[in-house]
A and B are shown apart, each in its own frame.
Chain A
Amino acid sequence: MAGAVFVLLQGLLAAYSLHVLRDAVDRRLDQGGLDACLSHCWFQAVPEAILIYAGFALAGVVVAAAGHRILLALPACMYVLFGVPHGANVLMAIGRQWQVPCYQRCPGVWFGYPLVGAVTDLTLVLIPAVVVA
């Protein structure tokens, strides 16, 4: 269930990014982005999200299966929260589609803030491990 939510979110974000890119091309704010992405944005985003979610969930499940109830969060937390000493802006979301393109104002939307993607993804990838533990 959590995996489906993760993949769905990534798919929606990819669709939104494509919309932003198209809009930017129409307004002549961007000329190259659409060519680079249009043919494979969805084919890239959805399978990639499935692979990434499976990998991160697997890491938590393996540690949880060893009986470590707190350590199960360590690998994913290390990846997401590594930059925390330098501020919340360097948090790394697990899904790549959280990097929503922006032109006149960055981030252009509320879910473009690094904290939103990082916290959402971290919660979703840890759910299977918590269930196993």
Chain B
Amino acid sequence: MKPERWPGAVDVSIVASVGVAMGLMLLTYRTTAVINRAPDVRVTWAVAAFALAAGARRPWWPWAHWVWAAVAAGTLGEVWLILIAPDPIPLAQTLQYVAESLAPFLVIVILGSSWNLLAAGLRKGIARPLALVAAVNVLNLADALLTRFAVESGGAQELNPFVRALGLPFKLVAVGALSLLLYKRRPAALVWPIAALLWVLCYHVSGIAVNH
């Protein structure tokens, strides 16, 4: 096999993507800890390390990633034990418990390994910066709507003083203007607001999951 450096040629899209992937894995761990109980730290590190090292390469992705998560979490062994030595607890209940304990690792391994897909997307975007401007504004709109939803339902407080004073349209216009400014001056820098807004959107999803 021809040796290859990880993560390849380091550019802005790679750094942003790996950062987002790590942030999302951390967010998944934290969300699971709040909803249920913290996943096993040893397994989390092993699964996250594999996700970052392997990336999302075909033909392995995503089946090998899920197999690894299930093996590291001990799920395959547990399922086998259930099959050969049935428990007094009903099977459906046991399987539900097994699925609940495995789910965070499956999510972590998929989010963590998707960094090279995101990097490829961002690289394409840098070649066509108007697409990046559109992405920033769509993500910002989604963030604004989800924030409003959270504030109206009483689950969050608007801490941005400009938005509190001038309202939501100000935020949309300001981000639109600033993204156009970046597009004119340094289009490659648009990947940073995209990375940040992606993480923020996932944070909203995490908040919705916690509140439900």
Query: B63-87: which residues lie under 8 A (CB-CB) from chain A?
Result: 64, 67-68, 70-72, 76-77, 80-81, 84-85
Q: Point out the residues of chain B lying under 8 angstroms from A69, CB to CB.
A: 3
Binds A, one of B49-57, B120-128, B175-183, B186-194: B49-57
Whether A71 is near chain B, meaning CB under 8 Å from some CB there, is yes
Q: Which of B57, B71, B81 has the most CB of A within 10 A?
A: B71
Collect the chain B residues with CB atoms within 8 Å of residue A72's CB. 53
Cβ A65 vs Cβ B42 within 8 A: no
Q: Tell me if A78 and B49 are in contact (CB < 8 A).
A: yes
A12 to B139, CA, bound (A): 57
Whether the Cβ atoms of A67 and B55 lie closer than 8 Å is no
**Overall SS of chain A's interface:** helix
Residue in A47, A68, A75, A83 whose CB lies within 8 Å of B80: A47
- B67 near A82 with CB under 8 A, answer no
Query: CA of A52 to CA of B81 in the docked complex: distance in angstroms?
Result: 13
Instruction: List chain B residues, Cβ under 8 A from A62.
Output: 50, 54, 57, 60, 64, 68
Against B, the Cβ 8 Å flags (1 = close, 0 = not) of A66-95 are 111101101110110011000000001000
The residues of A that contact B6 with a CB separation of less than 8 Å are: 68, 71
Selected from B41, B50, B60, the residue in CB contact (under 8 A) with A65 is B60
| Residue pair A75, B67 in contact (C-beta under 8 Å) | no
Looking at A20-28, A37-45, A116-124, the stretch in contact with chain B turns out to be: A37-45
Which one of A55, A65, A133 has the greatest number of beta carbons of chain B within 10 Å?
A55
Asked if B149 lies at the interface with its beta carbon under 8 angstroms from chain A, I say no
Count the B residues whose beta carbon is within 8 Å of the partner chain — how many? Answer: 30
Complex contact A79–B72 (CB within 8 A): yes
Q: Interface residues of A toward B: which range?
A: 20 to 34
* Residues of B contacting A67 in the complex (Cβ-Cβ under 8 angstroms): 1-4
Tell me if A82 and B45 are in contact (CB < 8 A).
Answer: yes
Shortest C-beta distance, B60 to chain A (Å), equals: 5
Closest CB-CB distance, A79 to chain B, in whole Å? 4
A63 touches B41 (CB 8 A): no
| Chain A proximity mask over B20-57: 1 for CB below 8 Å, otherwise 0 | 00000000000000000000011101110110011101
| Cross-chain contact A74 with B53 (CB below 8 angstroms) | yes
B50 close to A63 (CB less than 8 A): yes
Q: Closest 9 interchain pairs by CB?
A: A55-B71, A67-B4, A75-B50, A79-B46, A82-B42, A78-B46, A71-B53, A78-B49, A48-B77
**Residues of A that sit less than 8 Å from B by CB:** 39-40, 43-44, 47-48, 51-52, 54-56, 58-59, 62-69, 71-72, 74-76, 78-79, 82-83, 92, 96, 132-133
Given A54-B67, A62-B57, A68-B53, 4 more pairs with CB closer than 8 A: A43-B84, A55-B67, A63-B53, A64-B1
